[in-house]
Amino acid sequence: MDKRKIEKGVRMILEAVGADLEKKDIAATPARVADMYEEILSGQFKKAEDELEVILEHKHDEIILLRDIPLYSMCEHHMLPFVGKAHVAYIPDKRITGLSKIARVVEVLSRRLQVQERLTTEVADVIMKKLKPKGVMVVVEAEHYCMTMRGVKKPGTVTVTSVVRGVFRTNSKTRQEAMSLIKK
């Protein structure tokens, strides 16, 4: 990440909106914003698949669900945050991973310039590819600040996206069971 370019760009934006760059509280803003982008967009330089390297052989063949995984991402259209939670369910076919590994996949993929629809799909795809489960279901609920702060200005509006793979797609009872666990 080129933090110098970010600082230069932020300085230009501050100048364009009429901010006084000599003001003590604003003088360090370009560097702070560059540091912030380095942190919140750190997922762009990581492979989410690498987070699932620890795979255990296990005979568990029922739903494993992580509910309410917090996520923070940046909309690639307006560079404003979207904030919410992910619910990730899978049914293993011999392979399981540490629970924190699933949350790390969500973390890596959300720390990019992103759209919610793609984020939801990418989480499901990474889990399907690495764990080869019988099925995966991912539901993401998020509030988009590009709808809250600007444009339509509708705070509290939550966008819900879902992706189902394998048995969650082909078996409506399995899909319903996972949804009922998510809604608890």
Active site residues: 75-78, 116, 144, 146
Contact 108, 46 (CB under 8 A): yes
Distances (CA, A) of 50 to 22, 97, 102: 44, 12, 11
Contact 65, 182 (CB under 8 A): yes
